[in-house]
Structure 1
Amino acid sequence: MFGPGSQFHRLFNDPRWALGIVRATVLEAAHPQVGAALTDNSTFVAHPWRRLRNTLVSLQRMFGADDHVRQREAARLNRLHERLSGTDAQNRPYDAMDPQVRAWVVATLFESAVTMYRLSGQPLEQSAMEQLYTEFQAFLAALGVEDGHLPPTLKEFWQYYDHTVETELENTEALRIILYKLFDHLPAPPLLSGLPTVWAAGRALAGPVIGTVTVASLPEPFRRRAGLPEVPGAQTLMQSAYVAAGLARYLPEGWIETEALTDLLYLSPDSDDPRAATIAALHGRMKRAGALFRLVTPFPVQPDPAPGSERQRSAEEFFDAVLDQTGDGHLDWPDLAAMARELSSRLDLDEPEETRLYNAYAEWWKELQSALDTDGDGRVSKEEYAAAVPSLAGPALIRVAEVLFEATDKNGDQQIDADEYRTLFRTAFHRTLTGTDETYSRSAFVKDFLSFMSGRRHSTAYDPLLAQA
């Protein structure tokens, strides 16, 4: 069911799967419960690349050959989803642990994989399709969802899928954000974060294409009921995109490995990675191309900070980049929970360390709400935050810093060594710390974390933790 011999393992490094994942995400978001959970809790708008990386890492762990890793990841996912519940704009409850909802998420992944093969002109044989379905059933079972929430046979699955599409899916806010906002306003991945003009030009061309291809690939009954637009030539464009993506499979082995490509997107030119020198040279060439774009296009000039710069940023910029993790324009508990979730994922925390970090952030939220929520609506607006110009380094934030240090300091020696530092920051000491290449003391860590979170300064080390897209 899992590991190198599985159908999914072959799927994971297939370039067509990128289109399939986008399609599956849209179908997930069209489910009222999933859409509400995404709108209220997800960082997919403000931090889409981070969300993508975490999703790919999770899928690798779940479909890998190591059963212990799979069990740990399943437990982590269950803890994550247990924290996601509430009500949507129509006062309907949602719960990310609802087994029927979790089954639908797995169903969209399977069906999008089958559709991916079909649209690229290489439909799966019946035996391969049945094997892939069995693997996704095993995936759902590994998450602890009992049998019966996905139909037992492939024939029954298609009946279940068609019924869900025709009767339960809606044109949700999350779906509209993905199709009409995310692609048009997608922030640059870390690799291209210093090239805003080049990225804006590429996004202006690729964004509408991805949106059109995705809409054209959705089930026709849902497109009609949701009122999604019919763009002339969209079906031809969609099939061409899938066929073209399929041709990338014939590139030399290793060129399109998902893990390597994802790591490359997150590679900074000032990293200690051996590939960084090539990336730095590429950045230089692309900046010159960006200068040309600025001469012939209306894209606004966005000056970049100097390498290693820790310049001051405004309260509004800090609010958007760091505090508002969900990108909804307000600061509330889901934003701080997203911070705890990202840090827990980076450090691969188990219990009770994970809950200790969440609890520390929960106490900080109470402190922030008490100090900043002047109108009593249960959340903090950008205006409330900017007007108060608060010093955020209160006792609760200090506790967050201390708990984060303890979680990072795996061996408990009260120092963060090179390996522990790389786990949290994904880079080496000498690139981000001044005056040492050996250890990071508790006091220095807490001081730097508080300076970043309350002083609103850019930080080469800390920006990638919470501000990076």
Structure 2
Amino acid sequence: MFGRGSQFHRFFNDPRWALAMVRATVLEAAHPQVGAALLDNSTFVAHPWRRLHNTLVSLQRMFGDDDDTRQREAARLNRLHARLNGTDARNRPYDAMDPQVRAWVVATLFESSVTMCRLSGQPLDQATMERLYSEFRAFYAVLGDDADHLPPTVREFWPYYDRTVEEELENTEALRIILYRLFDHLPAPPLLDKLPTTWAAGRALAGPVIGMITVASLPEPFRRRAGLPEIPGAQTVMQGAYTTAGLARFLPDGWFSTEGVVGLLFQTPDRSGSDDPRAAALTALQGRVKQAGALIRLLAPWPHQGDGEETAPERSADEFFTAVLDQTGDGYLDWPDLAAMARELSSRLDLDEPEETRLYNAYAAWWRELQAALDIDGDGRISRDEYAGAVPSLAGPALIRVAEVLFDATDTDGDQFIDAREYRALFREGFKRTMAGADTRYSRSAFVADFLSFMSGRRRSTAYDPLLAQA
């Protein structure tokens, strides 16, 4: 059911799968419980590329060859989901551990995979469809839920799917954000982060088209009930997009790799001293794209956004609040934002218990300290104005404790220094820091000082910006 011989693995490196996963995400967000959990806790608005990377890594672990890795990832996902619960705007409870909700998420992945094949003119035969469904049911079972929450056969799956679409899905706020805000305001991936004009021009063309394709591919009963617009020609464009992506089947094996594409998007061309051999090629590529951006501005004047300009080491309080503190992108600092930081750091370091809980607890203590110091109006969250009025309060004892716990989690061999391997695990980069007299090691005091400087002083950091501020 898992590994390189699985049907899922073949789809994972299929270009059509990108369209299918966007569609599946929209169907997930249309479920009231999933939509509420996304809205309250997810970083998909402010950090969509990071969220994409983490999702793909998780799927690779779950569907990979190694069963121990799969079981550890399932345990990590369960710990993550156990922390996501609350009530939505209509005071309805949501719980990310609800087995029926988790079953729906798996169902959308299966159904969207089947739909992508149908829309691209390559419908699955019955045997392949049944094989794929068995793999997704096995994936659901690994999470520890009773497999009976998903119908046992493909024949029984379709009535379950149609019933859920008809009776449970809604035009949620999370769905509207994905369709009408995310694509139109999608931040640049790390590769194009210093080419905002070029990215903005491409996004202005591609964003509305992606949204139109996604809406056109959704089940018609749901589109009608949710009041999603019917754009003339959308079905034709959608069909053409899936068909064109499907032509990748004629490419030689190995020419397209999802992991390779995502890895490229997360490269940055200016990583001096990086041990990644692609850095030099990307530097040259960036120069070419700068020229294209200049041509775009010449032909169609665009608000100047400073392609390739060096940024100052300081950032304004407002920029720091938006880029670093407000992880969920809702305009406020509250516990879900700090929980998102803990979640990202735990994922980077692949922490197990009890280290993961120690990190969450340290962030929880910092949140209590911040709330007591900065929440002037007592509404349970911190606004930009409240933050700007008391910035020094960020660097209290609880933040120091966060830095200490993070250092301990990163220093896996316990020698009180972070070496090249440990540094790379946290920051996804080569070890570029050489401490005087420390033989390329990162001491506890230096690590804590840098972390505090970044989190409280609003100074830019070549290490922490990609970790916590990058989209």
TM bucket normalised to smaller: over 0.9
Q: Which residue of 2 aligns with 1:448?
A: 450
1:97 maps to amino acid: M
Deviation at 1:437, TM superposition (A): 6.1
Alignment of structure 1 residues 15-54 onto 2, 5 Å: 15-54=15-54
Give SS of 2:394's match: coil
Point out where structure 1 has 5 or more consecutive residues left out of the alignment.
none
1-side partners of 2:325 and 2:301: how far apart? 30
Quick check: 3-12 or 436-445, which moved more?
436-445
Alignment of structure 1 residues 86-105 onto 2, 5 Å: 86-105=86-105
1-side partners of 2:435 and 2:120: how far apart? 52
Quick check: 131-140 or 293-302, which moved more?
293-302
1-side partners of 2:351 and 2:377: how far apart? 36
1:396 matched to 2:398? The reply is: yes
Deviation at 1:255, TM superposition (A): 2.9
Deviation at 1:301, TM superposition (A): 1.6
Deviation at 1:295, TM superposition (A): 2.5
CA contact (8 A) 1:310 1:460 kept: no
1-side partners of 2:118 and 2:14: how far apart? 14
TM-score (norm 2): 0.97
1:132 matched to 2:135? The reply is: no
Give SS of 1:380's match: coil
Q: Which residue of 2 aligns with 1:317?
A: 319
2-side partners of 1:47 and 1:141: how far apart? 30
Match of residue 275, structure 1, among 272, 278, 293: 278
Q: Which residue of 1 aligns with 2:410?
A: 408
Quick check: 80-89 or 246-255, which moved more?
246-255
CA contact (8 A) 1:200 1:299 kept: no
Q: Which residue of 2 aligns with 1:211?
A: 211
Give SS of 1:325's match: coil
Q: Which residue of 1 aligns with 2:117?
A: 117
1-side partners of 2:63 and 2:413: how far apart? 30
CA contact (8 A) 2:194 2:309 kept: no
Give SS of 1:86's match: strand
Q: Which residue of 2 aligns with 1:379?
A: 381
2:387 maps to amino acid: Y
Q: Which residue of 2 aligns with 1:460?
A: 462
CA contact (8 A) 1:326 1:335 kept: yes
Deviation at 1:388, TM superposition (A): 2.4
Quick check: 215-224 or 434-443, which moved more?
434-443
Alignment of structure 1 residues 44-443 onto 2, 5 Å: 44-271=44-271, 272=274, 273-303=276-306, 311-430=313-432, 438-443=440-445
Give SS of 2:94's match: strand
1-side partners of 2:249 and 2:469: how far apart? 34
1-side partners of 2:266 and 2:173: how far apart? 29
Deviation at 1:364, TM superposition (A): 0.4
1:373 maps to amino acid: D
Aligned residues between the structures? 467
Quick check: 389-398 or 378-387, which moved more?
389-398
CA contact (8 A) 2:290 2:308 kept: no
2-side partners of 1:304 and 1:234: how far apart? 34
CA contact (8 A) 1:4 1:64 kept: yes
Give SS of 1:207's match: helix
2:288 maps to amino acid: R
Q: Deviations over 1:418-443 (max 9, x none)?
A: 0000111111122x557576100000
Detail structure 1 runs of 4+ shifted over 4 Å in the superposition.
304-307, 432-437
Give SS of 1:94's match: strand
2-side partners of 1:265 and 1:280: how far apart? 13
TM-score (norm 1): 0.98
2-side partners of 1:306 and 1:401: how far apart? 31
2-side partners of 1:294 and 1:284: how far apart? 16
Deviation at 1:262, TM superposition (A): 1.0
Q: Deviations over 1:69-109 (max 9, x none)?
A: 00000000000000000000000000000000000000000
2:344 maps to amino acid: E
Q: Deviations over 1:140-189 (max 9, x none)?
A: 00000112100111111100000000110000000000000000000000
Q: Which residue of 2 aligns with 1:4?
A: 4
2-side partners of 1:138 and 1:113: how far apart? 16
1:113 maps to amino acid: S
CA-atom RMSD, angstroms? 1.3
1-side partners of 2:358 and 2:285: how far apart? 42
CA contact (8 A) 2:88 2:94 kept: yes
Give SS of 1:429's match: coil
**Percent of residue pairs bearing the same amino acid type:** 78
